[in-house]
Structure 1
């Protein structure tokens, strides 16, 4: 049977469109091909990293509490230190005062800002002082905390009453409070270290020597504190061999136990990349393009002449 000419034309048109679609699929945009390739390679890489993370056990996470994550589950040891929170919170009255005058108030509008903040500080001190006797603290501790808070209250009250504020006024108030503030810092450190040592000691007692030797320690470090860190100083005393071996890690941007455990696997994977690619496990601690960037910048940006004789 012969098809009508109109049908033959329709089939030809459809075939042309199908062929065009097939050609378009084969000629995928080069940018998309590169993205697909990158995604495929990184997916394989991350699978390897996830597998490495899963076998990185045990991991001791030092966060709100001390948690040991092992192949058998999790065990948590409290590092609660109520006095640490008290001493730290009381001392934060200095931060409130500094925040109220930063940026330094200039003009009528800024005067209104520090007055409002000083009024808040005064009101919060009054509430704190009304409750402090119920905290069960020793007599000397209560006396010192009251002294610092009352000094701060007198300062903000005087400033509000006079309606004037100078940098010297703020400095004098802080200098008056500093001895008690410094004593609070020492008391805070003792309270934190006592609770941390108790939790770590309990964890150690529950662990055999082999697990202890393999264990990584991950702490959520502070955002600006790198060298003189309470937890790092403690770990350098109780497990110096782990610090030296690179088994103590600080994960500034990881939040929550799961993320902190994963950070141990991430660091181990980065060390493997450095070892495979450069023969140096620490190589990835440097920006991958860092060394090369220096020579490129030498080519891109001419150096200006020295402003003085550098041999002087």
Structure 2
């Protein structure tokens, strides 16, 4: 298994260089002005961006893992379906817990009636869903367990509405009563997602030469809050450890659409070129361009207090 520092490239890559990112994003789309400083900055960044665009165009093939798995080459692209209905159904049904938590967050005070409106909505949505649940494309025993979980949630929400009050203990009990079912949903959802992903990636691999596979970058549109244990990252660590070690696995949290995700691979490569040319270290731009200097300056500006006796 690759080093955890490499595995966490999903989080680190997004923060390559705060200073460089600011200068690029803040000025790249602006037109030159009469300000000579701004005009010069714009001219240099425009040249930089043209180089990055050219590098991005050369970054092929690139595998995009989003709703489906798409391999983009210089000659076009091929998409391999990543369909997993059971994953979507079981995950979505389990989101009833998120609805309950959202309804009581922030915790309502005596005058806050929002939770009642939200609980009424939960009851209504559960009733609507239960009317069609038998038609879901999942196993019969899964339909039965989803129905049971939703009925627990409905009974809890309706009882709270009937009593006109809610307590933390009652909310906690309802969630714990549903826990065995949504815990089982998590295991089955993960299995369904991994099976679908592995099938799509395997089909893509079979259509590529060894040389194409070796050069290929992989970009996944990762979730913005999941940093440490990510289903796709765990999968890629297992099936493409050499790409993880080589820095060819990238997570682009804020890119949307295949072109933007492929462009992110070009951006990362360009940052590595900057680090290699300017500092002799391709990974240097993972550190804020002003970071080391800022640390020393802050030592001067804000002296550290003496340690506490217990330290």
Could you state the TM-score of these two structures normalised by the residue count of structure 1? 0.87
Q: What CA distance in whole angstroms lies between the structure 2 residues aligned with 1:90 and 1:135?
A: 11
Per the TM alignment, residue 253 of structure 1 is displaced from its structure 2 partner at its CA by 0.8
3-state SS in 2 of match to 1:249: strand
Deviation (angstroms), 1:139: 2.2
Following superposition, the deviation at residue 303 of structure 1 comes to: 2.2
**Within-5 A mapping of 1:144-183:** 144-183=145-184
Q: Which TM-score applies when normalising by structure 2?
A: 0.88
Local SS of the residue matching 2:223 = coil
Q: CA deviation at 1:301?
A: 1.5
SS in 2 for 1:80: coil
Q: CA RMSD in A?
A: 1.2
1:93 aligns with 2:132: no
Answer yes or no: is the 8 Å Cα contact 2:86–2:137 preserved in 1: no
CA distance in 1, matches of 2:137, 2:233: 31
The aligned runs of 1:78-89 (5 Å cut-off) are: 78-89=81-92
Match of 1:128 in 2: 129
Matched pairs, number: 279
Helix, strand or coil for the counterpart of 2:254? coil
Could you list the structure 1 runs, at least 4 aligned residues long, displaced by more than 3 angstroms after superposition.
Answer: none
CA distance in 1, matches of 2:246, 2:271: 15
Q: 1:20-52 deviations in whole A, cap 9, x for unaligned?
A: xxxxxxxxxx98111111111111111111111
Identify the structure with bigger relative contact order (alpha carbons < 8 Å, sequence gap 6+).
Answer: 2
**Post-superposition offset of 1:164:** 1.3
> What's the CA shift string for 1:45-83, capped at 9, x where partnerless?
111111111111100000111110001101011102111
Structure 1, gaps ≥5 residues long: 1-29
Quote the residue 1:218 is aligned against.
219
Instruction: Choose 1 or 2 for highest CA Rg.
Output: 1
Distance 2:59 2:254 in 1: 20
For structure 2, list consecutive stretches of 5 or more residues without a partner in the other structure. 1-32
Aligned to 2:239: 238
Q: Helix, strand or coil for the counterpart of 2:79?
A: strand
